[in-house]
Structure 1
């Protein structure tokens, strides 16, 4: 049986493992084929042309082939377009990669999510501090929706009753949107949830979220963190804990 060859596939490196003294196993996020594991043979040699290219948060075009769980990298080119994020933006990019590693099954294509990821990485690399939190929250929302973990944000999840614009609602991992008392200031109002749903329904939802709901995205850090922790089965993400440790220093 002829081995399958995939050529000129847009991709990002999510994670790298040592395989031998000279080779790596790469976890890559591709546009048309989802998360794929690749054996990158000889890339740790000083003479390897792949060595300076196979970095996280860099847009690549790759060629690979083979069957089974781990395929073989045949070629890789840096597409260009932005520099490597630095500082807090770099840690935020590693956080995006950790989310994808935990939540995406291998060989499960998500081309729309790939485009959102690429747009988010470009924003991180832009060096605009005010865009950092907006970009992360927008990506988290769209990741959860793409994987079927985000309920409709314009109705109460269990009753399907419309939201009352002035009332407050909490996003609960096992029950979706639930009404809470007005004293619960961590919850968003019905009007705010409806605005987020309207942005999600836009033909270009990531741009709509950043354009129309930036202030609301800043309020979503805690509820989205709880929802992501629940679906990933973790108490805290490694990259988030690393960020907190660095900030404490």
Structure 2
């Protein structure tokens, strides 16, 4: 007995044997699930050209019949379900999305809205102009991810007082305390921005637009919350910072 046409993306994979792989997948109906792809590494396997990251798939799974493997699901078949090719300039951004999901989202908890946001963010990255920044799309997905996990407070009110944000105060997003007045205005963001983010929650294109107008301060606020829940920085984030640093060093100053 298995799933028929389970919409999914491959987030990560590692070798299981000389011919098989373990896949960490994100499915719309069942959330993150770990499956075995037997024979996926064989030269003649149909799966080799299908089990690619950032491509939407339809998976059919089966469970083992023996008692010792009854809880392990095996990939019976995988079909490509469409999706544009991600430009190389945004590959690191897409891997960052995958790492967020694998590190933050628990197994076996359906999150269809987050799945749809992931698919839409990949499509957005594919459609970006060559000179356009991926930052607003990443910030919008970070907010959506935190929201889906229940780690984001109401963004238009003082969390402790449950009162509207003061317009003359800068506000900081604290991992445990929610929105609090920033003792140093440079470490917070204006109330109007937080209120705009609250209005845009659940509407990804609108959220991306608000994030695009927010500037680098929003990234710092969200990274503080993410690192609190992750425990340390993501590897893809460190790689992106290294690449940006290398580009800056190689660019002649005017």
Fold match (TM-score > 0.5): yes
Indicate the larger mover: 45-54 or 125-134.
125-134
TM-score (structure 2 length as normaliser): 0.89
2:56 matches 1:55: no
SS at match of 2:134: helix
Deviations 1:172-220 (A, max 9, x none): 1121101124x522311111111110111xxx51122124552026531
- Large movers: runs of 4+ above 4 Å: none
1:65 is displaced (CA, Å) by 1.8
Indicate the larger mover: 184-193 or 96-105.
184-193
Whole-angstrom distance in 2 between the partners of 1:187 and 1:165: 12
Aligned to 1:184: 185
SS at match of 1:101: helix
Indicate the larger mover: 12-21 or 158-167.
158-167
Does the Cα contact within 8 Å between 2:21 and 2:41 map onto a contact in 1? yes
Aligned to 2:148: 146
Structure 2 residue aligned with 1:173, among 164, 172, 175? 175
For residues 214-229 of structure 1, the aligned pairs below 5 Å read 214-216=212-214, 218-229=216-227
SS at match of 1:51: helix
For residues 114-153 of structure 1, the aligned pairs below 5 Å read 114-128=115-129, 129-153=131-155
Q: Which runs of 5+ in 1 are unaligned?
A: none
1:104 is displaced (CA, Å) by 1.1
Whole-angstrom distance in 2 between the partners of 1:212 and 1:222: 16
2:27 matches 1:26: no
Indicate the larger mover: 48-57 or 68-77.
68-77
Q: Structure 2 vs 1, CA of residues 143 and 44 (structure 1 numbering), >3 Å: closer, same or farther?
A: same
Q: Structure 2 vs 1, CA of residues 57 and 172 (structure 1 numbering), >3 Å: closer, same or farther?
A: same
Structure 2 residue aligned with 1:43, among 40, 45, 49? 40
For residues 50-129 of structure 1, the aligned pairs below 5 Å read 50-66=47-63, 70-87=72-89, 89-128=90-129, 129=131
Whole-angstrom distance in 1 between the partners of 2:231 and 2:206: 30
Aligned to 1:237: 234
Whole-angstrom distance in 2 between the partners of 1:195 and 1:248: 31
Q: Please report the RMSD computed on the Cα atoms of aligned residues, expressed in angstroms.
A: 1.7
SS at match of 1:106: coil
Q: Structure 2 vs 1, CA of residues 110 and 197 (structure 1 numbering), >3 Å: closer, same or farther?
A: same
Whole-angstrom distance in 1 between the partners of 2:209 and 2:101: 25
Whole-angstrom distance in 2 between the partners of 1:180 and 1:219: 13
Does the Cα contact within 8 Å between 1:137 and 1:217 map onto a contact in 2? no
